[in-house]
């Protein structure tokens, strides 16, 4: 399988669908969207984008299955499956705010072997495939070289429907406010992971996530020289609803901090 060729095709698909999303950024000013759950929204543009992506990917690899956020197609296969988030950051999109991104990953036996994150606002496409470097708009990217939390900019995402660990989560924010250079919340986990991969953020953590939020970003961070895991340090984090990602220098310190607070 020529993963580089497939990746180039996925880049084209994500970019074209991203243009469709960009053209409809003002579509929902009249509250034309649905609520799937508490603080969890879907729009007609999400659904249309997912259909466009799935139609194109089905032609690219006819035997691959799909794990897709809006469930326009959910038939999975034993070996190869696409993981699709048509708009990661839907709440941002509804309000006309960036970032929001298209995230597409290809899994082989539940392991990401290809990842593309197209952040629509800055027209930036982050991509990689198995045993390859990570890139943004044809330029190779790397995680940052910061060696301590004290010198790091930390990204996170707020829980939107799982508040069982909210008190612990607030404690992590307090810690990073006091002990890091700053903490940011952009509202798009796929973008956060891409920004770790290119060194804009030094570390990222969040819980309450789904595979389509992180599948592409995991491979981007790791192929850019970083590390990812769940809050316990396990590498099965794509299906564990929680993730940390950072450069290799601060990973141990970052994991120690998160696990000590979030898993107490």
Q: What would the pLDDT profile of 195-229 be if each residue is shown by its tens digit?
A: 999 999 999 999 999 999 999 999 999 999 999 99
Percentage of residues in the chain having pLDDT higher than 70: 92
Q: Are 116 and 10 in contact (CB under 8 A)?
A: yes
Contact 155, 183 (CB under 8 A): yes
Looking at the chain, the whole-number percentage of residues with pLDDT higher than 90 is: 79
Please state, in angstroms and rounded to a whole number, the distance separating the CA atoms of residues 159 and 208. Answer: 6
d(CA 14, CA 264): 40
What is the Cα–Cα distance from 135 to 147, expressed in whole angstroms?
A: 23
- CA atoms 254, 215, 8, 125: torsion sign: negative
Q: What is the pLDDT of residue 33?
A: 53
pLDDT at residue 132 above 80? yes
162 sits in the region (left: phi over 0; alpha: psi -120 to 50; else beta) called: beta
pLDDT in tens, 36-83: 444 344 678 888 999 999 999 999 999 999 998 776 666 888 899 999
**CB-CB contact of 70 with 43 (8 Å):** no
Q: What is the pLDDT of residue 210?
A: 92
Report the pLDDT value the prediction gives residue 257, as an integer from 0 to 100.
97
CA distances from 103 to 69, 199, 250 (A): 10, 19, 26
31: pLDDT confidence band, cut at 50, 70 and 90?
Answer: low
- Domains of the chain in start order, with CATH, are 3-141 (3.30.540.10), 149-262 (3.40.190.80)
For the chain, give the mean pLDDT.
91
Return the top range by mean pLDDT from 69-78, 152-161, 167-176, 239-248: 167-176
């Amino acid at each position: 399988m020529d993963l580089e060729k497939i990746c180039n095709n996925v880049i084209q698909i994500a970019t074209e669908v991203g243009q469709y999303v960009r053209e409809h950024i003002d579509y929902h000013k009249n509250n034309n969207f649905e609520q799937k759950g508490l603080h969890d929204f879907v729009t007609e543009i999400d659904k249309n984008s997912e259909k466009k992506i799935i139609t194109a990917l089905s032609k690219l690899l006819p035997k691959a299955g799909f794990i897709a956020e809006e469930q326009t197609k959910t038939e999975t296969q034993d070996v190869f499956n696409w993981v699709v988030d048509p708009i990661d950051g839907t709440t941002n999109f509804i309000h006309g705010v960036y970032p929001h991104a298209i995230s597409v990953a290809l899994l082989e036996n539940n392991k990401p072997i290809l990842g593309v994150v197209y952040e629509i606002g800055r027209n930036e496409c982050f991509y990689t495939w198995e045993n390859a470097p990570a890139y943004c708009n044809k330029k190779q990217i790397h995680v940052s070289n910061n060696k301590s939390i004290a010198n790091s900019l930390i990204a996170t995402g707020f829980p939107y429907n799982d508040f069982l660990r909210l008190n612990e989560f607030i404690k992590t924010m307090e810690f990073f406010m006091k002990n890091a250079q700053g903490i940011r919340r952009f509202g798009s986990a796929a973008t956060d992971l891409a920004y770790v991969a290119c060194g804009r953020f030094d570390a990222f953590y969040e819980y309450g996530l789904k595979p389509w939020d992180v599948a592409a970003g995991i491979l981007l961070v790791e192929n850019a020289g970083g590390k990812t895991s769940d809050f316990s340090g396990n590498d099965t984090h794509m299906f564990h609803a929680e993730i940390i990602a950072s450069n290799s220098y601060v990973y141990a310190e970052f994991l120690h901090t998160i696990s000590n607070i979030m898993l107490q």
